[in-house]
Amino acid sequence: MNEQPRATTQSSQQQQVAFVLCGALAHEVLAIAKRHEWNVALFGVAAKHHMQPVNIAPAVEERLRELIPQFWRVVVVYGDCGSGGELDRVLEHYNVPRIAGPHCYEMYGGLTFEQLLAEQPGTFFLTDFLVRAFNGTIWKGLGLDRYPELQADYFANYTRLVYLSQEDDPHLATQAQAIAERLGLPLEIRHTGYGLLETRLVELMAEIDQARYQPKERHDGKLSDPVLVRHSASGARAGRGRASQRSAARTLSGSRRRSRDGDETDRLG
């Protein structure tokens, strides 16, 4: 893993920053934050929302409304992830920055990801998180635990599996090989480390004390209009589910709490 320059500022050390992040990035962001000794608290959003990206913006917005009154700065560690620009519209409403990138594959792989996809558009990608959580996030998420006969339809047009690895872990490589055999695809492993995810986080944290990153607190008790208009039903359902399960985040000295399906979400530390 390539070492990145350590980014520290006086303000970021004296004032705490909240990271709202996709559960699929939790392990890596925790490691990055520890490496750079940032004064941050991590709050996860369930990775399962990638199965229905319409839920991503409302879920992130709920976190923002909870955290903006409590923290000096809030940073969203997320790609657009199929939200169709809705996530960025929410972030503009609250003046909250997110790191650049459409999704985690690009954040980890950068140009390598683009080249792999150009070579074979039928490439199925895995990351460390997806290897660990394959059964819960992908297999069950696609309903293949209940309808295994759909596997042929889901994966008919894929020609290979590429594992973009963040850690050089033989156990994860073995798991990736088993997944490839299960899907009937040849496996390639490309080690990326934390890639552009770390680079972009370091760059953002180096300037997070600038006034342009001061978040806007909303007091009207309503969702922002773009989310309310387009996603009120799904957002309400997601909100009710999260309200019954919400828990406070732990700081970096704590340990992660993992759901049965391996989805690191509410408690991150």
Question: Within this chain, do residues 220 and 99 fall inside the same structural domain, yes or no?
Answer: yes
| Rounded-to-10 torsion of CA 102, 106, 108, 110 | -130
Question: Within this chain, do residues 30 and 89 fall inside the same structural domain, yes or no?
Answer: yes
Question: Within this chain, do residues 41 and 60 fall inside the same structural domain, yes or no?
Answer: yes
Question: Within this chain, do residues 95 and 23 fall inside the same structural domain, yes or no?
Answer: yes
Domain end point (choices 191, 211, 227): 191
pLDDT of the chain, 269 residues: tens digit per residue: 444 444 444 443 347 999 999 989 999 999 999 999 999 999 999 888 888 888 999 999 999 999 999 999 999 999 998 888 999 999 999 999 999 999 999 999 999 999 999 999 999 999 999 999 999 999 999 999 999 999 999 999 999 999 999 999 999 999 999 999 999 999 999 999 999 999 999 999 999 999 999 999 765 545 444 333 232 233 333 343 333 333 333 333 333 333 333 444 444 55
Question: Within this chain, do residues 23 and 99 fall inside the same structural domain, yes or no?
Answer: yes
Question: Within this chain, do residues 180 and 201 fall inside the same structural domain, yes or no?
Answer: no
Contact by Cβ (8 Å): 113, 106: yes
pLDDT at position 240 is 37
Domain end point (choices 191, 210, 229): 191
Domain annotation covers residue 16? yes
Domain annotation covers residue 134? yes
Question: Within this chain, do residues 97 and 14 fall inside the same structural domain, yes or no?
Answer: yes
Domain annotation covers residue 216? yes
Question: Within this chain, do residues 40 and 165 fall inside the same structural domain, yes or no?
Answer: no
Question: Within this chain, do residues 78 and 203 fall inside the same structural domain, yes or no?
Answer: yes
pLDDT at position 219 is 55
Closest CA to 91 of 118, 135, 58: 58
Closest CA to 33 of 68, 7, 2: 7
Question: Within this chain, do residues 18 and 87 fall inside the same structural domain, yes or no?
Answer: yes
Give all strands (DSSP E) within the chain, no chain letters.
17-22, 40-45, 73-77, 123-126, 160-165, 187-191
pLDDT at position 82 is 83
Count the domains in the chain: 2
Question: Within this chain, do residues 202 and 96 fall inside the same structural domain, yes or no?
Answer: yes
* Residues whose CB is less than 8 angstroms from the CB of residue 4 and which lie 6 or more positions away in sequence, other chains included: 35, 36, 194, 198, 199, 202
Domain holding 151, by residue range, is: 111-191
pLDDT at position 53 is 85
pLDDT at position 103 is 93
Domain annotation covers residue 266? no
Question: Within this chain, do residues 64 and 83 fall inside the same structural domain, yes or no?
Answer: yes
Domain annotation covers residue 99? yes
pLDDT at position 50 is 81
* Residues whose CB is less than 8 angstroms from the CB of residue 187 and which lie 6 or more positions away in sequence, other chains included: 160, 161, 162, 163, 176, 177, 180
